Structure 1
């Protein structure tokens, strides 16, 4: 079975830092940044990118639809 590597892209200027994606992530990939965006919100970012499995739970729960999830199949060695 091929392994899947995921990547999460957050539109940081539109993210309100509601934390729903952070709570929903089963592999603890996401966190709220200590930095703020132009509106003064702490935005979500990939704190542990190597742990992402591309499940897309974060994108499904995002109320503002600012998260895009990408999946790539890794080649078997």
Structure 2
């Protein structure tokens, strides 16, 4: 089963992933990354690994693994 991996230190909290996720599986953490941004968090129970986050993210935050 595919899984989405988040590189939290690349995230700039732009919100494209949250906006485009068809399952509303992405939110922002309460914590901050090394650049001072809240970072994307994927709810694995909702995620279908469709790749929309990967496609829309301008910063390469997401990786989809098998």
TM-score when normalising by structure 2:
0.88
SS state at 1:8 partner? strand
| Secondary structure of the corresponding residue to residue 21 of structure 1 | helix
Q: Which residue in the other structure is 1:9 paired with?
A: 5
Larger radius of gyration: 1
Q: Give a deviation string over 1:3-48, Cα, whole Å, max 9, x none.
A: xx542111101111111001110011110111100110000011x2
Give the whole-Å Cα distance in 1 for the aligned partners of 2:64 and 2:23: 14
Q: How does 1:1-77 map to 2 (within 5 A)?
A: 5-46=1-42, 48-71=43-66
Q: Which runs of 5+ in 2 are unaligned?
A: none
What TM-score do you get using the length of structure 1 for normalisation?
0.77
Distance of 1:8 and 1:34 partners within structure 2: 19
Would the aligned equivalents of 2:4 and 2:65 in 1 still touch at CA under 8 Å?
yes
How many residue pairs are counted as aligned between the two chains?
66
Q: Which runs of 5+ in 1 are unaligned?
A: 72-77
